[in-house]
Amino acid sequence: MFTMRCPECGGVMTCGGESSTYRGDISPDGHNHDDNCLTRQYVCENGHRRVYSKRNRCDTPACDWVGVASCHCHGGVKLEEWPAN
C-alpha cells in the first residue's frame, strides 16, 4: 500500500466515495474475471479531487487473468492497488 498524494499541492488524499460500472462479464467456473471499473474519488485537505480506478485481477490461485490497464469511463491508467488512505 502507498499514500495517495495530491498532484496539485502534495497534500494527503483520502477516499471520498466509490462507484462501479455494471457490465455483464462471464467468468469461468471458480474464477472472477469481472472487468467492471471500480472507481474511487479522492480529495485532499485543500479540496482538490481526483478519480482513480484499480486494475482487476482474478483471485483464483495460479490464474494470471488481469483486466484492462485503462478505460474510457474514467481516463488514465488504472492503479495496481488502492492507496492506504
- pLDDT tens digits, 24-73: 677 778 888 888 888 899 999 999 998 888 888 998 999 999 988 988 77
Is 90 exceeded by the pLDDT of residue 8? yes
Domain count, the chain: 1
pLDDT on residue 32: 81
Cell numbers for 77: 491508467
What pTM was computed for the model? Answer: 0.71
Of 6, 69, 2, 80, the closest CA to residue 41 belongs to 6
Task: Give the CA angle between residues 34, 80, 32 to the nearest 5°.
Answer: 20
**Which parts of the chain are beta strand (E)?**
13-20, 38-44, 49-53
pLDDT on residue 65: 93
pLDDT on residue 1: 63
Range of the domain at 58: 1-85
